[in-house]
Amino acid sequence: MDGNSFENWFKNTLPKPDDNSLIVLHYHSRRLERVPTNASG
């Protein structure tokens, strides 16, 4: 699952939390640019 898929799933799956709710997530940040390789010269 990529970052966009997760974000869409999360927004559409989770109901609106109550004011006193706390949501804790741990996920790795998205890489916006590809890491350069030898072939990208």
pLDDT at 15: 80
For residue 21, what pLDDT band results from cuts at 50, 70 and 90?
confident
pLDDT above 70: residue 10 = yes
Task: Tell me which residue of 9, 4, 13 sits closest to 31, measured CA to CA.
Answer: 4
Q: What is the pTM of this model?
A: 0.42
Q: What is the mean pLDDT of residues 31-36?
A: 70
- The residue ranges of every structural domain in the chain are 1-27
The per-residue pLDDT for 1 is 72
- How sure is the predictor about 26, in pLDDT bands with cuts at 50, 70 and 90? confident
- Nearest Cα neighbor of 10 from 20, 26, 19 is 26
